[in-house]
Structure 1
Amino acid sequence: MEIETSNRGKVDMMLAGIDLAWKNEKNPTAVSIGELSGHHLNVTGIHPALSGLNELKSIILLQEELYGVAIDAPLVMQNSFGQRHCERQVSVDFGGRGASCHSSNLERYPNPAGVELSRHLESLGFEHLRHADNGKFQIECYPHPAIIEIFSLPKRLAYKKGPTDAKKQGQVILSNYIKALGRSNVISLSIIDEFQTYLDHSYIRSLSGEALKTNEDVLDSIICVYIAALFSHSVPHKCYGSVEDGYIYVPKQPCVN
């Protein structure tokens, strides 16, 4: 499939990565838009600090040629209590490396934003785990284990919790890994100049409070859109759980040397 874009020629498909706030009415969401051409992904749009599902849906509708979406949030949730089976499975494989899953259930999240978003995407033709050759797809992903696999790390990269200085340093390290994807032989990554600030060390170290959290969300959304690109290329992976009861897609492909 090829899409004609007015300024950049032809791309294979347009993809989105969404770091979705699970409690969407309280916390912001970040979205990265990328254009995949062969084995190269170019991030051409970043939408930070979106408020609520309606704003997010509007951004999605603006991407008329959007073909695939990877979302960091539970998209299928049937369990009333405890963890989904896929969350328990991921925790078995990655818990020893610091990347266990949070628990998602209908008691804790009676109106889960991810489920609503997923159903909206389904109404637009995006099917769960559909092979990219067969039409539009959506997948649930989880950045922590994906980062471990993509960058061949021994354990979870710490950039979300702890003292502010520790979170800043974690984001600096993650930004370096993201930049390293520019030389990947699997799928190389570029980000247009307008959005390079999110990876800038001095900028990250200048942040605090909500601004630091917004930058974290943006970095996660970049990882998510990269995961969407990996899915479209059918790289080695493991899909925990099922579409019926909830699943998490984790690429098993090292992408940098």
Structure 2
Amino acid sequence: MNSLYIGIDLAWGEKNFSGFCVTQQEGNKLKILELKLLKSIDEIVQEITKYEDYKVHIGVDAPLVVPNETGNREIEKDFNKDFAKYKISMLPANKKLLTKYSPKIRSIELFDKLSQLGFQRDFKHNKVIFEVYTHSTIAMCFNNHKILPYKRKKGRDSDFIKQQLGIYKKYLLQVFKKHKILETELDSLKGQKLKDHEDILDSLTCAYCMWYCRENDFAYYQVEGVNTFITPVSKWKVYIVKCSDDTLYTGITTDLEKRVDEHNHSTKGAKYTKVRRPVELVYYENRTDRVDASKREYEIKQMNRQEKLELINV
């Protein structure tokens, strides 16, 4: 059964359109199969039901499960704490706020209807749905852990927005097959057409997030103990391998599997491990960026053997 990745940049009110895309892996990129602007929840669900014979992974940039009347969900609290170091945060999601946009909260309506069709917050299933966030996906996967300021905001004029959207499209071209949406000239777009273009790009990022998180490092955030929101996290890791002579070696990498293989089989492995093969990965932890990983690597290398073993066995 082939897999599809659907992205939805959901409008919070009935008057606005939602960006919608359907993508499929082709080689090491995603191929865009469908791009649409849809208005009603029923239209979105109808489009999704066309693909009932596929494994479908849906990423929605909107709060799907909102048990709280006011304040923040645990998702926002935990995410904002973890991503404060990147100056990335999520707005509050609660029923009082969302009903201002629509008496029937659209994101909850969408999730309920898709749940009835068998979609679950679990990658083990053939019908998968999670909340995603375009800002954190772009920051972690493309923009050096920083917000890309392409959203309309006070102090940002149309020329600035178009410049940022141009950067955005170059990022997406790294992971999507060529498509006219990624080659459209932004100079000709104004007003609602520019906003529609942005919504379509965001839907692609939602789909990409689902594809990325299936195979790469990501974090779950929960509502009432159930994984509900996912986001990519930094690729940088500090790791420890145990060598054939039982000694421990610490290093940093963005690709654990490749780096361990290099230690065991390649001339690119560290001098220390080349004469102590084979090595076995016994510990790793994600870090914010290369600088953070290097600092942590130094800290671990200053530990004695017993301290390292305690860290490994935590």
Q: TM-score range by the shorter chain?
A: 0.7 to 0.9
Displacement of 1:99 in angstroms is: 2.4
What CA distance in whole angstroms lies between the structure 2 residues aligned with 1:117 and 1:179?
29
> Is the Cα contact below 8 Å between 1:78 and 1:245 reproduced in 2?
no
> Which residue is equivalent to 2:177?
190
Listed as ranges, the matches of 1:207-218 within 5 Å are: 207-218=189-200
Listed as ranges, the matches of 1:69-108 within 5 Å are: 69-108=58-97
> Is the Cα contact below 8 Å between 1:84 and 1:103 reproduced in 2?
yes
The AA in structure 1 aligned to 2:108 is V
Q: Which has the larger radius of gyration?
A: 2
Matched position secondary structure for 1:59: helix
What CA distance in whole angstroms lies between the structure 1 residues aligned with 2:171 and 2:180?
15
> Which residue is equivalent to 1:156?
147
Gaps of 5+ in 1: 3-11, 182-188
> Which residue is equivalent to 2:137?
146
Residues 238 and 246 from structure 1, CA distance in 2 versus in 1: closer, same or farther, beyond 3 angstroms?
A: closer
What CA distance in whole angstroms lies between the structure 1 residues aligned with 2:224 and 2:181?
34
Residues 65 and 230 from structure 1, CA distance in 2 versus in 1: closer, same or farther, beyond 3 angstroms?
A: farther
1:56 aligned residue (6, 21, 44): 44
> Which residue is equivalent to 2:165?
171
1:157-178, Cα deviation, whole Å (9 max, x unpaired): 0111221111111110000111
> Which residue is equivalent to 2:182?
199
What CA distance in whole angstroms lies between the structure 1 residues aligned with 2:189 and 2:84?
30
1:200-221, Cα deviation, whole Å (9 max, x unpaired): 26x2121111000000001101
Gaps of 5+ in 2: 236-253, 255-314
Displacement of 1:231 in angstroms is: 2.9
What CA distance in whole angstroms lies between the structure 2 residues aligned with 1:251 and 1:17?
15
In the alignment, structure 1 residue 18 sits paired with structure 2 residue 11: no
> Which residue is equivalent to 1:44?
33
1:28 aligned residue (17, 23, 28): 17
Residues 124 and 205 from structure 1, CA distance in 2 versus in 1: closer, same or farther, beyond 3 angstroms?
A: same
What CA distance in whole angstroms lies between the structure 2 residues aligned with 1:40 and 1:76?
31
In the alignment, structure 1 residue 115 sits paired with structure 2 residue 108: yes
The AA in structure 1 aligned to 2:113 is H
Aligned-pair identity (%): 28
Higher RCO (C-alpha 8 Å, min separation 6): 1
The AA in structure 2 aligned to 1:64 is E
What CA distance in whole angstroms lies between the structure 2 residues aligned with 1:177 and 1:217?
16
What CA distance in whole angstroms lies between the structure 2 residues aligned with 1:92 and 1:164?
32
Displacement of 1:244 in angstroms is: 4.9
The AA in structure 2 aligned to 1:114 is S
> Is the Cα contact below 8 Å between 1:149 and 1:253 reproduced in 2?
yes
> Is the Cα contact below 8 Å between 1:70 and 1:227 reproduced in 2?
yes
Displacement of 1:94 in angstroms is: 2.5
Q: Compare 236-245 and 102-111 and name the one that shifted more.
A: 236-245
Residues 178 and 37 from structure 1, CA distance in 2 versus in 1: closer, same or farther, beyond 3 angstroms?
A: closer
> Is the Cα contact below 8 Å between 2:66 and 2:94 reproduced in 1?
yes
2:214 aligned residue (232, 248, 257): 232
> Is the Cα contact below 8 Å between 2:7 and 2:21 reproduced in 1?
yes
Displacement of 1:96 in angstroms is: 4.7
Matched position secondary structure for 2:64: coil
In the alignment, structure 1 residue 131 sits paired with structure 2 residue 98: no
What CA distance in whole angstroms lies between the structure 2 residues aligned with 1:213 and 1:163?
13
> Is the Cα contact below 8 Å between 1:68 and 1:136 reproduced in 2?
yes
> Is the Cα contact below 8 Å between 2:73 and 2:223 reproduced in 1?
no
> Which residue is equivalent to 1:186?
none
What CA distance in whole angstroms lies between the structure 1 residues aligned with 2:224 and 2:52?
26
